[in-house]
Amino acid sequence: MSERTDYLDLDTKDETFLDANEIVLNMGPQHPSTHGVLRVILKLDGEKVLGTECIIGYLHRGVEKIGENRTYAMFNPYVDRMDYVASVSNGLGYCEAVEKLLNAEAPPRAQYIRVILTELCRIASHQVWLGTHALDIGALTPLFYCFRDREEILKIFEKYCGARLTTHSFRIGGCTYEAYDGFEQDCNKFCTAFLPKLDEYEELLTTNRIWVRRTKGVGILNPEDCIALGVTGPVLRAAGVKWDLRKAQPYEAYKNFDFEIPTGLNGDTYDRYLVRIEEMRQSVRIIRQAVDGLPQGPIMAKVPKVIKPAVGEIYHSIEAPKGELGYFIVSDGSTQPYRVRVRPPSFVNLQALDKMVRGLLIADVVAVIGTLDIVLGEVDR
Amino acid sequence: MPEETKDPTPVLPQSSAPTNPQPGKAGDAGASASPSVTPAAAGNSEASAPTSTAPAAKSEAAAKPAEPAKPATPAATGEKPAAPAAAKPVAKPAAKPEGPKPEPWDSTLVSRLRSQYGSGIAEASTYLGQKYLVLDSTILYEILLHMRNDELFDYCVDITAVHYPKREAQFEIIYVLYSFHHNDRVRIKAQIKDGDHVPTAVGIWETANWLEREVYDMFGIVFDGHPDLKRILMPDGWKGHPLRKDYPILQQDQEWVKINLGIESGQ
């Protein structure tokens, strides 16, 4: 461990402690609160964090290299395995990027189905975040509540495409599956049942004294730092920047729906919690509008069976539950992408960890990792 | 759908030619669109050609009778049996580029940059509505700094690279920038030779730290002045840079198998 200490430079000098020795503590990769296989090396003075370094890559599967060796359609299921708690969003981003490259667009009905599923997925992703985040901080009950209610979403996915987690629910050009009989009713039923449940979560946490003490003022990230670090998603919005790609550069059918972008004030862990809770409410709003306005018509655009985009390149990004998820695809006119680059929100957001935890306690590191909402499958790809 | 049915093992170095990864296997639903047209045409019975890709297939059929005379052209499928090999070159021209071309991008931003940096801006174009600049790599840092400070592109979305082993300047490094003020995206591209160093952008955007480390890890491009340039996703002792086109996929695996299991190959 000693050879690593040289690049943990110390910005914050300790004024309070006497002559405490600095120690280096290894956290992870197998640690319940690192949400996977993240390894964080902490440089500590007593319990105070002086600096961190993240070691990542334990889940690296070479997704981008795989993409270069598969056809466009073959690569589609792989992207679901990056952010596996929000697999629908991954698939949406990829399909849209390829569609853009083909200069095609999914028909309206497919776009609405995509929006419904993606927003359901956003709720599911936030539920996993809330459950595990609260668990890390010591509140056990929200985990059970969240996973119980997430089950309803997974049931809808299962009825729609047969898969619960890595759904591969979209195809380049639209959707493979028509909405099943009772899809609309199921979605509406979920929305109606979910809103009171969301209030229940809030009852447990929002005014809970322990929760507030553990999250308020912890891991503050101001808007300037967020932008400099490229942090997006709820973390950016909690810092007060009203920016959401669904509004800023609307894709799919998002311009047809009426919804708000919740923002925070202080950019601390508590605000990020409130922002994500409110985002779930807004997602319910979008789902209801999309179900009501679900148009009739085809679900696949006319794209060739063998996908061979013209020579060129495209960058397309969507607002995934964790932030801006971008795909940069270079086509050389063949059936396989020449290069697929994934711009993962978790990877970029995780970089902010060091800035957020300096000067805090070890227990706060756990809270901050939770509030960043990282999925290591996406960080490492 | 095609992606479930086929085992994608034939991993050709993909840069060589736009070949279909499963050429010989018949009955493949996905590949049937173009190859199934061609045997019929080779037999000069194009009247019965399935109309899968209607306009393309028509024009291709018209150009066809001349084709079977010179089957020497196929690029990568030299050792394949005669019939698919002859079918191959016929299928290709129909599928080659039909998409839009990059259009010149005129804006005050570009003219400002041009007046300041002159011929350093090699190209300013839009493709499918997306703007990009191609720069001389020597002025990369100045342009990036200019883009952030003067043009208010304050958010560096992504830094990545593409490897073109056949070009003289093998790597293209790409910066995706976004401006919160203009709600606009621009890609900045520069071509660099293998072994050339690029000035780091960490001083401009902090986010460049990990992104550049990833580019270094995957392509071996060195960023001068980077505070902590080392591998990020691959283990420290890893050999080679995986996203280079000439990086052999199986080699690493076989080496590991040889050392740890003492057998020739795990594949």
Q: Given phi > 0 = left and psi -120 to 50 = alpha, else beta, which region is A355?
A: alpha
When pLDDT is averaged across residues B188-215 and rounded to a whole number, the result is 90
**Interchain pair B18, A334: CB under 8 A:** yes
When pLDDT is averaged across residues B110-138 and rounded to a whole number, the result is 83
Predicted pLDDT at A2: 38
pLDDT at residue B92 is higher than 60 = no
Provide the percentage of residues in chain A whose pLDDT is more than 90.
Answer: 38
What distance in Å separates residue B61's CA from the closest CA in chain A?
18
Q: Is the dihedral of CA B120, B125, B127, B133 positive or negative?
A: positive
Question: Which residues are registered as beta bridge partners of B190?
Answer: B135, B173
Q: Which of A68, A103, A306 has its CB closest to that of B31?
A: A306
Chain segment A235-255, per-residue pLDDT in tens = 999 998 989 998 888 888 888
Mean pLDDT over the full length of chain A = 87
**List of chain A residues whose C-beta atoms are within 8 Å of the C-beta of residue B102:** 312
State the Cα–Cα distance between residues A136 and A218, nearest whole angstrom.
Answer: 14
Q: Which of B97, B214, B243 has its CB closest to that of A310?
A: B97
Predicted pLDDT at A97: 92
State the Cα–Cα distance between residues A316 and A324, nearest whole angstrom.
Answer: 10
Are the C-beta atoms of residues B29 and B50 closer than 8 Å to each other? no
**List of chain A residues whose C-beta atoms are within 8 Å of the C-beta of residue B23:** none
Residue of B nearest to A55 (CA): B232
- pLDDT level of residue B23 (50, 70, 90 thresholds): very low
Chain segment A81-137, per-residue pLDDT in tens = 888 888 899 999 999 999 988 888 889 999 999 999 999 999 999 999 999 999 888
What distance in Å separates residue A209's CA from the closest CA in chain B?
35
Predicted pLDDT at A117: 92
Q: Which of residues 101-120 of B touch A (CB under 8 A)?
A: 102
**Interchain pair B206, A228: CB under 8 A:** yes
More confident call, A16 vs B127: B127
Residue of A nearest to B6 (CA): A74
Label residue B25 exposed, middle or buried (CB < 10 Å: 0-12, 13-18, 19+).
middle
CB contact, 8 Å: B179 with chain A? no
More confident call, B216 vs B98: B216
What distance in Å separates residue B86's CA from the closest CA in chain A?
18
State the Cα–Cα distance between residues A240 and B200, nearest whole angstrom.
Answer: 29
What distance in Å separates residue B113's CA from the closest CA in chain A?
23
pLDDT at residue A192 is higher than 90 = yes
In three-state form (DSSP H/G/I as H, E/B as E, the rest C), the secondary structure along chain B is: CHHHHCCCCCCCCCCCCCCCCCCCCCCCCCCCCCCCHHHHHHCCCHHHCCCCCHHHHHHHHHCCCCHHHCCCCCCCCCCCCHHHHHHHHHHHHHHCCCCCCCEECCCHHHHHHHHHHHHHEEEEEEECCEEEEEECHHHHHHHHHHHHHCCCCCEEEEEEEEECCCCCCCEEEEEEEEECCCCEEEEEEEEECCCCEEECCCCCCCCHHHHHHHHHHHHCCEEECCCCCCCCCCCCCCCCCCCCCCCCHHHHHHHHHHHHHCCCCCC
Residue (of A312, A308, A95) closest to B126 by Cα position: A312
CB contact, 8 Å: B209 with chain A? yes
**Interchain pair A312, B128: CB under 8 A:** yes
**Interchain pair B29, A305: CB under 8 A:** yes
When pLDDT is averaged across residues A316-338 and rounded to a whole number, the result is 91
User: The tokens of B90 are what?
Assistant: 């016929």
**List of chain A residues whose C-beta atoms are within 8 Å of the C-beta of residue B157:** 230, 315, 317, 324, 326, 343
State the Cα–Cα distance between residues B35 and B39, nearest whole angstrom.
Answer: 7
Chain segment A44-75, per-residue pLDDT in tens = 887 888 889 888 988 888 899 888 888 999 99
Q: Which of B1, B185, B243 has its CB closest to that of A64?
A: B243
CB contact, 8 Å: B13 with chain A? no
User: The tokens of B37 are what?
Assistant: 């047209």
